[in-house]
A and B are shown apart, each in its own frame.
With several copies, the nearest count.
Chain A
Amino acid sequence: MIIDTLTSPVILFFLLGFFAAFAKSDLSIPEAFGKAMSIYLMVAIGLKGGVEVMNAGFSIDLLNAALAGLSLSFLLPVPAFFALIYFGKLKPVDAGAVAAHYGSVSVVTFVTAKELLTNQGLEPAGYMVAVLAIMETPAIISGLLLIRFGNKGKSTEKSNNNIKKLLHEVFTNASVILLIGAFIIGMVAGKSGFEPIKPLFEVGFKGVLCLFLLDMGLVAGRRLVQSNKLSLRLVMIGICLPIFNGTFGAIIGLGIGLDAGSAIALSILGASASYIAVPAAMRLAAPEADPGIYLTMSLGVTFPFNIIIGISLYTYIVQILG
């Protein structure tokens, strides 16, 4: 499967971006274009997930997967936090911020995996999109609690009104609104209502994904090139943590009885790290944490690892365990 992955245009565009960054090319994707593609991708997968769930009908699996995702997002930051402190030598505030990223998810990793899995007849169930949305933000809360725990005794002012702000952020974060909103619209519209808008959201999907991964490659590559924050220990964590989280996700997914495709998807959600919702929230809620660390680990190390190797690896793990 790794070979399939490496010759898929989606991955090749990522590598092209990566290469351009390392070659210090002046290639750049306008910010507005990148954001537009990101909005498009979230709406498209939300819609398709909603339509599929409406078609398949609700099932107990959906509920199980949602609960599993919620728990994973809350819990995965905990081991990450301690690994980052004791092995990674980070300050508590940085460790908590990084940990939150690994509890949350990467939409593009999920989407890329979905494309690659579908090609192999392992398409995840439609409701996994809802799980994706559910997993976006709870990790932010865990991360901040871990920071407070790590800093105990120090600066606890401004905590009260912050909790209100935080819950607001968790529920109204742009990614959450887009994914859940489009998911519900997909459910309400159903297959027939989706028909007229399907061309835009289905015909163009894989092409847009290619262009977006070109952008991701550029951004991830530049992060790596420009970073001076990345110790060897952090790089190791950036590779081992997704393997650990992915295996954990696989076990949970199989444990609650998901089909192979959905279990792989849950594994990938566990393994992936956020690079949009969480960084923005962390910058605001934990401004002392260094974005140079969490963005570089998430975008520069874990994202490429997951895209190039991880997806195949988690598929393999589920197939071994399943």
Chain B
Amino acid sequence: MVETVIRKRIEILVDTPLIPHIIDLLKKVDMSGWSVIHVDSGGGRDGEWSDDDFTGASAKSIILVIASEEKTNNLVDLIAPILDSHRLLLTVANVAVVRGHKF
């Protein structure tokens, strides 16, 4: 059987226009890989929204990052202060990956 190791799966829910800003933070903690998933609609304290809005300003995305625990901790420390002001949602879970040295 192929060996797997545990890494962190980080999900950051973010307003689409803010993505470049978060990517900059990822790079600061030396994370070099990420993927962006489109969010179609949602609801929260601010009411409901949906992406059929050509302004683009209210669109949301999820930035998905697989990373080592160490880098993840650094990222969480970096992002925590702006979670509220930037309306972010950040979750971290454990995942098994093959060949963990890449992350």
Residues on A facing B (Cβ under 8 Å): 28-31, 34-35, 37-38, 215, 218-219, 222, 226-228, 275-276, 279-284, 287-288, 291-292, 295, 299
Q: A284-B18, A287-B86 known; A292 and B46 CB under 8 Å? A: yes
Query: Are B46 and A280 interface neighbours, CB within 8 A?
Result: no
Q: A275 to chain B: which residues have CB within 8 Å?
A: 55
Query: Are B85 and A288 interface neighbours, CB within 8 A?
Result: yes
Q: Which B residue sits closest to A219, measured CB to CB?
A: B53
A305 smallest CB distance to B (angstroms): 18
Q: A226-B47, A284-B20 known; A35 and B54 CB under 8 Å? A: yes
B94 smallest CB distance to A (angstroms): 29
Query: Are B47 and A219 interface neighbours, CB within 8 A?
Result: no
Query: Are B57 and A287 interface neighbours, CB within 8 A?
Result: no
The answer to whether B56 has its CB under 8 Å from any CB of chain A is yes
Of residues 18 through 55 on chain B, the ones whose CB sits less than 8 Å from some CB of chain A are 18, 20-21, 46-55
Query: Are A31 and B52 interface neighbours, CB within 8 A?
Result: yes
Residues on B facing A (Cβ under 8 Å): 15, 17-18, 20-21, 46-59, 82, 85-87
Query: Are A28 and B54 interface neighbours, CB within 8 A?
Result: no
Query: Are B57 and A295 interface neighbours, CB within 8 A?
Result: yes
Q: A226-B47, A288-B85 known; A283 and B54 CB under 8 Å? A: no
Q: A228 to chain B: which residues have CB within 8 Å?
A: 46-47
Q: Which A residue sits closest to B56, measured CB to CB?
A: A280
Excluding A228-B47, A275-B55, A279-B56, 8 further A-B contacts by CB distance (< 8 Å) are A35-B56, A226-B48, A279-B57, A279-B58, A280-B56, A280-B57, A284-B17, A287-B21
A295 smallest CB distance to B (angstroms): 6
Query: Are B52 and A276 interface neighbours, CB within 8 A?
Result: no
B74 smallest CB distance to A (angstroms): 19
Q: A38 to chain B: which residues have CB within 8 Å?
A: 54
| A182–B7 CA distance with the chains assembled, in angstroms | 49
Q: B87 to chain A: which residues have CB within 8 Å?
A: 287
Minimum-distance CB pairs A-B, first 9:
A279-B57, A34-B54, A283-B17, A28-B52, A288-B85, A287-B86, A226-B47, A280-B17, A284-B17
